[in-house]
């Protein structure tokens, strides 16, 4: 458990909780604590789904600009890699990951949300990549993950302008998956995560990896990734349980094995 980021586990759901007042600014320490929490969530067998949550007031308002302002080119050469990989550690969690977004998800906060599989957004939240207003560009995946999610033209407009998007627009373009009142964000994310707790762990893992890795390659290679993952699941107990239950018209009781 870090000073500002902790993993809380209850009933199969792991919550990566950001808690750095006032705005959950992602300084170097927070970045490394996010990485540690993501790795722990990946490794723990009692965690079947993950929520990333910044609290009732704010998800994460971005990187710690006070920390960055005095950094030189060589300083950022050294820091940019760990910055990216700390967010990528969330994207590589081999389980469903849901961002529960309240308040602001801007800059690095938006990039953290983009690393999740799904985004539950408060109806009064603001999202965006305002780095252009600082004379820089997103550096933790924003130019890549946002583009893959909403398309190149929309991504360029959002990044070039640096503007904030409200929840309604985020939902319309696919940046948000569900919009609810702010008070309901975390519980809605938990309800979503519960769908996966009793599911076939390795099938869900294989599906996520096939989709994510497939986006990185050509169609033929993606189909081969899918084929190998599909065939590999015939070595799991859950495949046998699921198919037997189907034949017997029963509800499968998966073991996560």
Distance from C-alpha of 187 to C-alpha of 198, rounded to nearest angstrom: 18
What would the two tokens of residue 45 be? 């067998």
Would residue 111 show up in a list of annotated catalytic residues for this protein? yes
DSSP summary character for residue 215: T
Burial grade of 60 (CB within 10 A; 0-12, 13-18, 19 or more): buried
Distance from C-alpha of 248 to C-alpha of 18, rounded to nearest angstrom: 45
- From the list 3, 10, 40, 131, the catalytic residue is 131
- From the list 8, 43, 111, 224, the catalytic residue is 111
Give 184's contacts (C-beta < 8 A, 6+ positions apart): none
Burial grade of 93 (CB within 10 A; 0-12, 13-18, 19 or more): buried
Would residue 224 show up in a list of annotated catalytic residues for this protein? no
The residues assigned a catalytic role are 111, 131
């Amino acid at each position: 458990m870090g000073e500002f980021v902790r993993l809380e586990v209850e009933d199969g759901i792991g919550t990566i909780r950001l808690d750095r007042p006032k705005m959950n600014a992602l300084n170097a320490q927070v970045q490394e604590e996010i990485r540690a929490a993501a790795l722990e969530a990946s490794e723990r067998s009692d965690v079947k789904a993950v929520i990333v949550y910044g609290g009732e007031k704010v998800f994460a308002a971005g990187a710690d600009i006070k920390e960055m302002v005095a950094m030189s080119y060589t300083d950022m050469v050294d820091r940019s890699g760990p910055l990216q990989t700390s967010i990528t550690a969330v994207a590589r969690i081999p389980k469903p990951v849901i961002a529960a977004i309240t308040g602001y998800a801007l800059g690095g906060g938006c990039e953290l949300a983009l690393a999740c599989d799904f985004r539950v957004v408060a109806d009064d939240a603001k999202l965006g990549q305002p780095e252009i207003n600082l004379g820089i560009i997103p550096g933790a995946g924003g130019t890549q993950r946002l583009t893959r999610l909403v398309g190149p033209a929309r991504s360029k407009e959002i990044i070039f302008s640096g503007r904030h998007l409200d929840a309604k627009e985020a939902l319309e373009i696919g940046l948000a998956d569900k919009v609810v009142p702010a008070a309901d964000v975390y519980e809605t994310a938990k309800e979503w995560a519960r769908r996966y707790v009793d599911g076939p762990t390795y099938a869900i893992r294989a599906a996520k990896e096939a989709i994510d890795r497939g986006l990185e390659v050509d169609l033929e290679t993606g189909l081969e990734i899918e084929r190998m993952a599909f065939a590999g699941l015939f070595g799991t107990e859950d495949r046998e349980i699921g198919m037997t239950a189907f034949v017997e018209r029963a509800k499968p009781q998966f073991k996560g094995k």
